Structure 1
Amino acid sequence: RYAFVQFIASQQKQDVKNRLKKMGMQVMADRQVGWSISDRWAYQDVALKGWVLGCPPDYFSKDGQIWNFPIIDPAKLFDANGQLDRTAPGTQLLERLYRKIFSENTGVRIDHTLGLIDPWVYPKDAPTTKDGTRLFSSPTHDALKQYSRIKPDDINKDKAPDSGEWVKQAAMTEDRVRTYGALVDQLILPLAKAAGIDKNKLIFEDLGAITAPTATVLKERGLSAIRVTQFINPHDPQDMHRGKNVPSHHWLTPGTHDNPALYNWVTDMFIRPPDTMKHDEWAKRKSDHLLRLQYDMYGHLSPSQCKRRGLKTNWNDAQDLTRAMVTELFLSPARNVQLFFADWFGMRDNYNQPGLFDDNVNWQLRIPHDYQKAYFKAVSQGKAINLPRTLRNGLKIKQPAGPCTDKAFGSLVKELDHLAAILDEPVR
């Protein structure tokens, strides 16, 4: 029965892929880092005994994220030189998984790239991940030093293993980067290429405490990563999440499934302080983030230029600020932007709270069955994103100074204004 259901699902997925291709659309899948319950049972022999994959203490959780995902035993992936062993059972398992997902889609988001390059492991059944370490970057760890790609002199001894600065950048020699990147170089990229998927159609999710090995592998290979504007440090002009600093091949988003709904984040940031924050502290934070947003959007325009271009944002209105955060995405050099479905539909519930292990709270939001009507109703009420208006505003912000003589530009803006007005019409 299970095999038959999988057969039907596979056929339906291929039909959807072919139909979308005719419409000029592509399918981006998610290669999750976790294992299903059935896979945990079926492939338990390839898992590293006594250790599981998770996240160290971070922005989301002071105790770390207790995923309890199996991690493949390095001895069942790599040879004695740290290179991929094609005959090893762990390698063959990953090859089947990636070959399948590449055959069914036109692009893939690879979840938690750290788990492929520099994973955080902790003792199985531990109540937190605090006693964990980096599997391939712990040369002094009694139980795991045999798997280390580096030597004791390559770590910053004044930093903890969960720090992004644990491994010295100077330790990232060509040979070591090649070893850390073995799964990417020798398995993922070749299989994607064989399936006709360019490396720019792969999204290497790299959020969290990024380590020197992970950052170096991704940077030297020019691989696409994700930047999140909710993470911007407003005091750092070079912050990597700031739209103007995001390279063209990266993806830019205001928030992922692990962030609060954009409207909720905006409300806490700009409209009213959360219960856990003192008002003076919140007011300073609000001012810093608001000045950053205003500068990055309109800093090159005078008030009169904004008025002539029909650009106006009510900085005291949560919905206007939400729209501004989305418009900002289209001002970046990034060629691709991502908007989580809950934000697209103007939902107010958060999808996931990392560190909270309650499936009755997390992972509950769904796209409405009457999604088209739901969207039109929400956008007419000013809750959902009016994409034509967002694109129109982005174009007008980027418009060169002086009178616009480009007829194509003027026609495009006019058409977007027309479509935006249609979406504004009330829906019964």
Structure 2
Amino acid sequence: MTHDLDRLSRAHGIPPTYTDAHGDRRAVPAATRRAMLRALGVDPERDAPDDGVPERRMRAPDDARCFTPAGLRDAPAWGIFCQLYELRSGRNWGIGDFRDLGDLAGIAARAGADFVGVNPLHALFLAAPERCSPFAPSNRAFLNPLYIAVDDVPGAGDAPPDLHDLRAASEVDYPRVAALKLGALREIFDCAPFADEAARADHDSFRAERGDALDRHATFEALSHHMTAEGRGAGWRGWPAPLRQPDGAPVRDFARAHADEVAFHVWLQWLADRQLATAQRRAREAGMRVGLYLDLAVGEAPDGSAGWGGDVMLRGLRIGAPPDLFQTQGQDWGLAAPSPEALEARDFAPFRDMIRAQLSHAGALRIDHAMLLWQLFLIPDGMSAIEGGYLRYPMPQMLRALAEESHAARAIIVGEDLGSVPRGFRGVMRDAAILSYRLLYFEQGKRGFTPPRRYPACALACLSTHDLPTLADWWQGRDIDDRERFGLVDAETSAQHRTQREDERRDLLAGLSLAGELSEADRRTAAGSAELPEPVMLAAHAFLAQTPSLLMAARLADIAGPQAPTNIPGTTDEYPNWRKRSPTPIEALEDHPRFAALAARLSRIRRRPSTSPA
């Protein structure tokens, strides 16, 4: 019986074992594999082991190479990463918006930067704005309307008088922001949604182009608001059974009865799309070779609009990560995964449409947890992450679709290849011209930090990500303190990490000095400094700029704050993840001493050519 289950699992892309972070083989429980097979529509007790899918292989076809601008190989670029919501300005409504994004792109371009990267901009849950994680979206094919700059919408009136507190706050108050923005936008929609007939025609063209998927998402949003008002929640899983099927008569009846509300949410998507397009146009017109660098989350919330009805999403399984050196019990991200067989049956149209939507106004796209192109670690409902297992995906076909969309949009693809990376995966990424994602914190070995010359060219290099501390916090070990404070590690482990961090600080100073970016005097001063010295901050970025990696990025948080963590993995209500705002207004960034010094140093090392072939 076990032998038959092994054969049946393999036949449907479910390996019976996997290699863990320690290099040991770990068996996937039989109950896990049975649950995964049932989610795929396979009866593990009845179906024949040989009735499966063709064996899935980790490889990149010859015709699956993503777009790379020719000029980048001769003149690598640098840029800035930020969380869009964290941007502060004198005119926004307590949350960064698409106007701020265009303004930041202009400032960065004048300083020599070639791109501005942001967090995922996916549609979340407008009826539950407190669900603010950009990595747990309702639908990755659509945008978050809270990023609309209301004052850029024709017909907008004066800003509400109570914006002062929101603008001054250190954290985004999502419920208040949503109430004010949606209220103001609804007034415009009810009064005069289009400035002229050209705008109306553009809206109608957008609606026709996005088709049924847009109408379904807009219907979901309208219904979600009604269900929330009734106390049933924003996600479809809490709704009455007849409303859980978007193609059913009750949902069609609702859409007809509330056509104006559905149209409002279509209009919001049109506004968001056009404002994002304007931000990308401003970035390119300012001289950026890449422009906007967007981010694709690994999955979607199981109760969002993407998983509402249909057969693309697997039911009863959640995306996560296996146990590793830091997360000994594994991770449960609570996200829904697509069915590989459903994707194949539709010639990968859902995947293509999602990628195309992301690339429509971007010069680069980061794929979070790029291993999704080959396999996802899935956890059956009722089980823990330690009991999960992998499901393989048709990698050659997905890479081919990704490459085609990349070339159509002339956009660079970056793959976040951190964590549990299967052997050979990075080689396939390189074959597909997908840039690897290399972080300074992780690029170290027995001899210290990896020298710049040893970084790969087909990569993006940066200090850290939204899940990791700023360099100032890293230097002081505040991330170690946070993990202990929130019960993620015990005191003994924290003590070991602090000792290790002291060694890493010494190794970093040695590496920066060896690379010629830190003087001996600054090195000696830094060695005894409890706080991060400014020369070390500048030298660490210059160190990465020296690498042959095609792209190099600096986090806005490292330059102008917020210094507090963006997100502390493993926490929920204990810490205000995805809420911290920059203390520095965009209007003051150009004159910020650190920004000016850093931009000048990076531009000397990575000088933008006078002509931009990209």
| TM-score category, normalised to shorter length | 0.5 to 0.7
Q: Does 1:294 align with 2:509?
A: yes
Q: Distance in 2 between matches of 1:372 and 1:277?
A: 45
- Equivalents in 1 of 2:315, 2:480: separation in Å? 49
* Contact 1:61–1:355 (8 Å) recurs in 2: no
Pick the aligned partner of 1:191 from 405, 418, 422.
Answer: 405
- Partners of 1:2 and 1:270 lie apart in 2 by 40
Unaligned runs of 5+ in 2: 1-263, 485-490, 608-614
RMSD: 3.6
Three-state SS of the structure 1 residue aligned to 2:378 is strand
Using the TM superposition, give the Cα deviation of residue 190 of structure 1 relative to its aligned residue in structure 2, in angstroms: 0.8
Q: Tell me the equivalent position of 2:386.
A: 130
1:9 aligns with 2:272: yes
Q: 2:372 aligns with which of 115, 122, 126?
A: 115
Deviation per residue, 1:287-331 (Å, 9 max, x gap):
53244323322226699x867xx9986233322244433232223
Aligned to 2:598: 387
- CA deviation string 1:346-397 (max 9, x = no partner): 4320111112233852111234582332675xx55x7x784146449x86xx
Contact persistence 1:270–1:286 (CA under 8 A): no
Amino acid at match of 1:254: L
Q: Counterparts of 1:254 and 1:109 in 2: how far apart (Å)?
A: 16
Amino acid corresponding to residue 70 of structure 1 in structure 2: A
Q: Residue 97 in 1 paired to residue 306 in 2?
A: no
Q: Distance in 2 between matches of 1:116 and 1:56?
A: 17
Match for 1:244 among 450, 453, 459?
Answer: 453
Match of residue 206 from structure 1: 417
Rate the CA distance shift 1:247–1:232 in 2: closer, same or farther, 3 A. Answer: closer
SS in 1 for 2:318: strand
* Correspondent of 2:340 among 74, 91, 104: 74
Q: Is the 8 A contact 2:307 2:313 kept in 1?
A: no
CA contact (8 A) 2:463 2:541 kept: yes
How many angstroms does 1:60 deviate by?
A: 4.7
Query: What is the aligned partner in structure 2 of residue 35 from structure 1?
Result: 300
Query: Are 1:49 and 2:49 counterparts?
Result: no
Q: Following the alignment from structure 2 to structure 1, what is the Cα–Cα distance between the partners of residues 497 and 410? A: 49
Structure 1 residue 251: Cα displacement: 0.9
Q: CA deviation at 1:112?
A: 1.0
Gaps of 5+ in 1: 79-84, 137-146, 148-178, 399-407, 409-428
Return the alpha-carbon distance in structure 2 between the equivalents of residues 109 and 326 of structure 1: 20
- The SS at the match of 1:296 is helix
Q: 1:389 to 1:131 in 2, by over 3 A?
A: same
Work out which of the residue numbers 443, 463, 467 in structure 2 matches 1:258. Answer: 467
Higher relative contact order (CA 8 A, sep 6+): 2
CA contact (8 A) 2:560 2:584 kept: no
Q: Is contact 2:320-2:331 (8 Å) kept?
A: yes
Report if the CA contact (8 A) 1:255-1:261 is conserved: yes
**Structure 1 position 224, deviation (Å):** 0.4
The Cα shift of 1:46 comes to 1.2
* Mapping of residues 330-345 of structure 1, within 5 Å: 330-345=545-560
Mapped to 2, the partners of 1:274 and 1:73 lie a distance apart of 35
User: Map of 1:177-188 to 2, 5 A cutoff?
Assistant: 179-184=394-399, 186-188=400-402
Residues 270 and 290, structure 1, Cα contact 8 Å, conserved in 2: no
Task: Name the CA distance, whole Å, in 1 between partners of 2:470 and 2:504.
Answer: 17
Identify the residue that residue 329 of structure 1 maps to in structure 2. Answer: 544
Whether 1:319 and 2:576 are equivalent positions in the alignment is no
Match of 1:61 among 327, 330, 349: 327
How many residues get paired? Answer: 332
CA apart distance, 1:242: 5.3
Counterpart in the other structure of 1:219: 430
1:267 aligns with 2:487: no
Alpha-carbon distance in 1 for matches of 2:556, 2:517: 34
1:123 positional shift? 0.8
Letter in 1 for 2:527: W
Q: Is the 8 A contact 1:64 1:355 kept in 2?
A: no
Partners of 1:302 and 1:242 in 2: how far apart? 12
Work out the CA distance in 2 between the residues paired with 1:385 and 1:266: 22
Aligned partners of 2:469 and 2:479 also within 8 Å: no
CA displacement, residues 33-89 of structure 1 (integer Å, 9 cap, x when unaligned) = 1225533443552112322211222355333221121111122123xxxxxx5x35x
- Deviation digits for residues 12-43 of structure 1, max 9, x if unmatched? 11122112211012011111112255334435
Give the TM-score taking structure 2 as reference length: 0.48
Please give the alpha-carbon distance, in whole angstroms, between the structure 1 residues aligned to 2:579 and 2:517.
45
Q: Residues of 2 paired with 1:33 and 1:216: CA distance?
A: 21
Q: Is the 8 A contact 2:451 2:515 kept in 1?
A: no
Asked if the contact 1:120/1:134 (under 8 Å) is kept, the reply is yes
TM-score by length of 1: 0.67
Q: 2:271 & 2:495 partners in 1: Cα distance?
A: 58
Distance apart, 1:230 and its partner CA = 1.3
Q: 1:386 to 1:346 in 2, by over 3 A?
A: farther
Percent identical among aligned pairs is 21
Secondary structure of the equivalent of 1:135?
strand
Match of 2:566 in 1: 351
Q: In 2, Cα distance between the equivalents of 1:270 and 1:118?
A: 30
- 2 CA distance for matches of 1:54 and 1:270? 22
Matched AA of 1:249? C
* AA partner of residue 429 (structure 2): L
Match of 1:233 among 444, 458, 462: 444
Instruction: Please report how far the alpha carbon of residue 215 of structure 1 lies from its aligned counterpart in structure 2 after TM superposition.
Output: 2.5
CA 1:190–1:270 in structure 2 vs 1: closer, same or farther (change >3 Å)?
A: closer
Q: 1:97 to 1:109 in 2, by over 3 A?
A: same
Opposite residue 188 of structure 1, the aligned amino acid is L
